[in-house]
Structure 1
């Protein structure tokens, strides 16, 4: 009997750990497969969701283009829509994994608050971007000058406004600084005044010069002929009589008209023998008899 009891106890000692190992193995197989499928499903959902969100974002953008929505609004809203869609997909995946979505939202909110306090300047830029879209001091495609920077507005994003300069440079300006400083917008009005200042000799006849210059203005097709045109004396300088030439051109034609009008006025003055003087000095030489002999040295 004693021997039989020893054998039974030995079998119990061996069988108990085996049962525990079998239980753990079955648990891992069952739960591991469930977790694995949930993880794979979540990854697939995330990939497909991101792909669909990109398609939806592009669809919204294209619909805005078809409906001729202001490019300023499109460039501002599309990134926000993209972020919102992706956050919604992430929250859905978290819920599929069985995690506490409300806790995750609270954690994201806390992180967002901390980041917001650290990036107060960025928040002011974001608010300024919204104000720019509401009050529209400029829009995409306008030529503006602000804080010593000038160029054509390429895009208005959440935090910054991007300008393309005539030199091919790209300038990025924070929306906060841009909105809180004076802005000169040359594209708001259809017409823009073109100013040309030029000097003629004191020996030349002003009336003749005025007629010659006015003829050159009247022949220039980029000048708005039904708008005011002026050729008058601006000032009496040391070496020349400076004339003020004023006319109106369309804003998009400003620089083309600027170059052409300067060239045409120079050709017209040369053709009519009206000189554009350069600075010179007059030297007076006194001899021993204290008589004066004027001598002009041009320099």
Structure 2
């Protein structure tokens, strides 16, 4: 019996690692298949879920369009709906993987709190965006002026508002700054007043100039005839009598009427020999014989 002991111990030395290796292999196969199936299931769920989220977003957007929901509200709410749907899908996938979904939600909340403290300005912009949507000081398509900047509102997003200028530029304004500063909205009313300031010579007849300019206004089809039309003296300047020309134009016709009236008033004044003076200086030179010689520049 003693002679067989070395053989038995050698056999145990060889078989024991083999049994351990077999156990580990079976465990890996079993767990690996479970983990692999969970991963495949999670990926499929995520893919299908994101596809469904996009479909829901498109359906909601179409319903909003069909119900004639304001474009400003649509452009603001649709991205938020999209984000919320995708966050719900991610939480569901985390739960399918066997992870602690509540812990994941708590982690997201903690990260969100930290990011919120770091980006307080962005949160104020988000809050201002909500207030803009609720109180509607302007909407997409309106022509506004704020903080010395002007343009047509192109979009109102979660954090900022974009203005398209007449020069073809796009100005991005933070919602917080925009909401907390005065806003001039030219699109709220149907009509907008067009101002033309023009000077005539002191030697010209004001009533004749008034008659000529009023005739130009009456002939211009873009000028609203049932609204007040004014041509009066605005001020007495150094080199001219400045006239204030005022009339009402529909918002969509403003710039077309602006260019037309400036051009046509100039043509009409020239045709009637009413001059538009330019600044000039009169100097008087005294010579030794006390004669005064005027020199016009």
Would the TM-score normalized by the shorter structure come out above 0.5?
yes
SS at match of 1:246: strand
Report the alpha carbon displacement of residue 284 of structure 1 after superposing the two structures with TM.
Answer: 2.2
Name the CA distance, whole Å, in 2 between partners of 1:122 and 1:130.
13
1:221 maps to 221
2:251 maps to 251
Name the CA distance, whole Å, in 2 between partners of 1:18 and 1:283.
117
1:261 maps to 261
Report the alpha carbon displacement of residue 289 of structure 1 after superposing the two structures with TM.
Answer: 3.4
Report the alpha carbon displacement of residue 153 of structure 1 after superposing the two structures with TM.
Answer: 0.6
Report the alpha carbon displacement of residue 188 of structure 1 after superposing the two structures with TM.
Answer: 0.8
Report the alpha carbon displacement of residue 157 of structure 1 after superposing the two structures with TM.
Answer: 0.6
Q: Answer yes or no: is 1:132 the counterpart of 2:167.
A: no
Q: Give the alignment of 1:15-26 within 5 angstroms.
A: 15-26=15-26
Q: Give the alignment of 1:1-299 within 5 angstroms.
A: 1-293=1-293, 295-298=294-297
Q: What TM-score do the two structures reach when normalised by structure 1?
A: 0.95
Name the CA distance, whole Å, in 2 between partners of 1:6 and 1:266.
122
> Deviations 1:7-51 (Å, cap 9, x if unpaired)?
444433332222221111111111101101111111121122112
Name the CA distance, whole Å, in 2 between partners of 1:76 and 1:15.
69
Structure 2: tracts of 5 or more residues without a match: none
> Deviations 1:122-179 (Å, cap 9, x if unpaired)?
1111100000011111111111111111111111111111111111111111111111
Name the CA distance, whole Å, in 2 between partners of 1:32 and 1:55.
34
Instruction: Using the TM superposition, name which of 78-87 and 284-293 deviates more.
Output: 284-293
Report the alpha carbon displacement of residue 201 of structure 1 after superposing the two structures with TM.
Answer: 1.1
CA separation of 1:113 and 1:86: change in aligned 2, threshold 3 A: same
Name the CA distance, whole Å, in 2 between partners of 1:84 and 1:235.
61
How large is the RMSD of aligned CA atoms in angstroms?
Answer: 1.4
SS at match of 2:68: coil
Structure 1: tracts of 5 or more residues without a match: none
